[in-house]
């Protein structure tokens, strides 16, 4: 084991370059009149200007520094989403040119990821995850003349299903997010294996010294200088310290006035001063494996809340309901799901901490957009009525479970979610709603399925109630396929 008095570990530094399609919080259902208006209505209409601001404060100065460092022997990795490549190609091609110079440098490894920086790896069906992985690989080959073989798997846990997709796509290593839980109760500074796939674990605490604590004047280590940080890395036990950082940290989320850009510029020399060598993820993947990692626990940032679970389920069900797959894929962005929790862990990303009201407001905006997208898609479907019955609804139309006027704390936003919740809802809650005919009334007036509403009316047996809804859902899907 390395540490003080022995050889320092290597350092593997990666940058995640992405910019989300932020929602338009002012969107209201029924305001989209034409298909070409949809994206501007659903998402931030000022996105071009907002991205331009991020480019000037962060992407451009950070890339200029990075290019100088690469020419001096610094080694790193870049993970750039397909979504940001599209935006830059359309609006800021000169910035894409700068990133292309960096990405094609001999000291840089370009990493694979999902094209839309998406949550598709959390779906039960891996079709979208696989599709986005191949879309991203093809784009990297087209723009940067490289086919990535290391996958940045840091926004959700690696599973047998995702590992199989990665292997079939020619991925030979994965970078996963460090965290807590039985699967990750081991030093992150080693290479492990997961079903024979080399796995590199990020060091969240050391990454957050930069991404979160750097500008905090109340931190007992403030101000953090590059030489002190390099000293910490030099005595960190293990073979290789892996840091995976959101590119916007440098000058964007953390303003240039804090000295964050000067820190980046000084870091490689400080590392060299401590005898630390920088390596790429594929190099770290070749280090001797320190053991086998079982199925990894969810990163703390995606320990799902009820809101997140509802959104993920609605997203997966929407795949075969929506007509505009491009808009749906923009909604898959991991940033949307992170914002549905009051506090999402950072691990190299800017800390996300908001109020309870803010999480509900974001969830409501998200569900309004998704529901409207599904409803607008019904006109062109094989069965318009089936789409309308299967679609999700926004929070103001959801079915809220309760017992004798006391909220139970959960709600159904679709027939499928109602079916799922009927499995675990307490008997007294189900009895209360049956006696009031709440289920049949909601299915009739909100979902718009009069036939199913009549069938479930007065049915108090949980199993029978679930069976009726399950059969109806299956019948509706058959009409669409």
* 63/55 Cα distance (integer angstroms): 10
Give percent of the chain above pLDDT 90.
84
Dump pLDDT digits (tens) for 307-332.
Answer: 999 999 999 999 999 999 999 999 99
What's the pLDDT at 29? Answer: 85
Q: What is the DSSP letter of 116?
A: T
**If pLDDT is split at 50, 70 and 90, which confidence band does 303 have?**
low
Number of H helices and E strands in the chain, helices first, is 21, 14
* 55/205 Cα distance (integer angstroms): 27
What's the pLDDT at 35? Answer: 62
What's the pLDDT at 78? Answer: 98
Residue 424: partners with Cβ closer than 8 Å, 6 or more residues away: none
Dump pLDDT digits (tens) for 87-96.
Answer: 999 999 999 9
**If pLDDT is split at 50, 70 and 90, which confidence band does 5 have?**
very low
**Number of other residues whose CB lies within 10 A of the CB of residue 315:** 25
**If pLDDT is split at 50, 70 and 90, which confidence band does 295 have?**
low
What's the pLDDT at 196? Answer: 92
* 18/118 Cα distance (integer angstroms): 11
Q: What is the DSSP letter of 471?
A: H
* 308/314 Cα distance (integer angstroms): 10
Whether the ω angle into residue 223 lies within 30 degrees of 0, i.e. cis, is: yes
Q: Does domain 10-301 have CATH number 3.40.50.150?
A: no
Distance of CA 119 to the CA centre of its chain: 5
Dump pLDDT digits (tens) for 10-60.
Answer: 999 999 999 999 999 889 887 777 666 788 899 999 999 999 999 999 999
**If pLDDT is split at 50, 70 and 90, which confidence band does 185 have?**
low
Phi, psi of 422 (to 5 degrees): -70, -15
pLDDT above 90 (res 186): no
The mean of the pLDDT values for the chain is 92
Alpha helices in 339-461 (DSSP H): 356-377, 384-390, 415-424, 427-435, 438-442, 450-456
What's the pLDDT at 36? Answer: 67
Q: What is the mean pLDDT of residues 396-404?
A: 94
Q: Averaging pLDDT over each range in 41-45, 129-133, 158-162, which range is the top one?
A: 129-133
pLDDT above 50 (res 302): no
Q: Which two tokens stand for residue 170?
A: 């020619």
- Domain boundaries, given as residue ranges, for the chain: 10-301, 303-338+356-480
pLDDT above 90 (res 183): no
pLDDT above 80 (res 457): yes
pLDDT above 80 (res 464): yes
Q: What is the mean pLDDT of residues 81-101?
A: 97
* 203/267 Cα distance (integer angstroms): 17
Torsion, Cα 267 18 360 301, to 10 degrees, reads -50
What's the pLDDT at 31? Answer: 79
Q: Which of 103-117, 121-135, 394-408 has the lowest mean pLDDT?
A: 394-408
Q: Which of 46-50, 97-101, 405-409, 411-415 has the lowest mean pLDDT?
A: 405-409
**If pLDDT is split at 50, 70 and 90, which confidence band does 298 have?**
very low
**Number of other residues whose CB lies within 10 A of the CB of residue 222:** 12
200 close to 191: Cβ distance less than 8 angstroms: yes
Q: Which two tokens stand for residue 155?
A: 């926004």
Residue 466: partners with Cβ closer than 8 Å, 6 or more residues away: 419, 422, 423
Phi, psi of 459 (to 5 degrees): -80, 120
pLDDT above 60 (res 300): no
242 close to 283: Cβ distance less than 8 angstroms: no
**If pLDDT is split at 50, 70 and 90, which confidence band does 404 have?**
confident
* 397/88 Cα distance (integer angstroms): 38
Q: Which two tokens stand for residue 196?
A: 């024979």
């Amino acid at each position: 084991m390395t540490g003080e008095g022995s050889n320092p570990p290597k350092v593997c530094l990666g940058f995640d370059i992405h910019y989300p399609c932020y929602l338009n919080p002012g969107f209201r259902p029924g305001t989209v009149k034409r298909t070409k208006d949809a994206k501007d209505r659903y998402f931030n209409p000022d996105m071009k200007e907002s991205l331009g601001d991020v480019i000037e404060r962060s992407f451009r100065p950070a890339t200029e520094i990075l290019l100088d460092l690469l020419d001096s022997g610094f080694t790193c990795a870049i993970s750039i989403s397909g979504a940001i490549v599209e935006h830059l190609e359309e609006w800021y091609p000169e910035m894409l040119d700068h990133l292309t110079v960096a990405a094609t440098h001999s000291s840089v490894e370009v990493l694979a990821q999902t094209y839309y920086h998406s949550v598709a790896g959390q779906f039960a069906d891996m079709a979208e995850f696989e599709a986005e992985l191949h879309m991203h690989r093809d784009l990297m080959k087209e723009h940067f003349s490289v086919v990535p073989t290391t996958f940045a798997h840091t926004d959700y846990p690696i599973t047998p299903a995702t590992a199989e997709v990665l292997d079939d796509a020619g991925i030979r290593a994965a970078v996963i997010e460090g965290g807590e839980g039985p699967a990750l109760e081991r030093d992150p500074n080693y290479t492990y294996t997961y079903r024979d796939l080399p796995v590199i674990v990020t060091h969240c605490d050391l990454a957050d010294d930069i991404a979160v604590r750097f500008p905090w004047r109340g931190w007992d280590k403030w101000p953090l200088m590059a030489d002190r940080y390099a000293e910490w890395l030099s005595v960190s036990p293990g073979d290789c310290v892996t840091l995976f950082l959101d590119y916007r940290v440098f000058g964007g989320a953390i303003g240039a006035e804090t000295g964050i850009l000067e820190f980046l510029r000084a870091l490689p020399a400080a590392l060299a001063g401590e005898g630390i060598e920088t390596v790429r993820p594929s190099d770290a993947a070749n280090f001797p494996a320190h053991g086998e990692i079982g199925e990894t626990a969810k990163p703390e940032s995606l320990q799902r809340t009820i809101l997140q679970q509802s959104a993920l389920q609605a997203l997966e069900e929407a795949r075969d309901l929506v007509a505009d797959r491009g808009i749906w894929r923009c909604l898959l962005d991991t940033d949307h799901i992170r914002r549905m929790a009051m506090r999402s862990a950072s691990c190299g990303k800017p800390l996300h901490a908001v109020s309870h009201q803010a999480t509900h407001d974001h969830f409501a905006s998200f569900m309004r957009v998704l529901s409207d997208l599904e409803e607008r898609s019904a006109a062109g479907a094989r069965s318009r009525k089936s789409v309308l019955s299967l679609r999700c609804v926004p929070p103001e139309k959801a079915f809220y479970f309760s017992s004798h006027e006391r909220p139970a704390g959960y709600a159904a936003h679709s027939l499928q979610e109602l079916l799922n919740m009927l499995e675990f809802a307490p008997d007294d809650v189900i009895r209360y709603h049956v006696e009031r005919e709440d289920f049949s009334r909601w299915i009739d007036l909100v979902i718009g399925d009069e036939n199913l509403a009549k069938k479930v009316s007065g049915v108090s047996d949980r199993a029978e109630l679930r069976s009726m809804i399950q059969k109806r859902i299956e019948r509706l899907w058959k009409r669409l396929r």
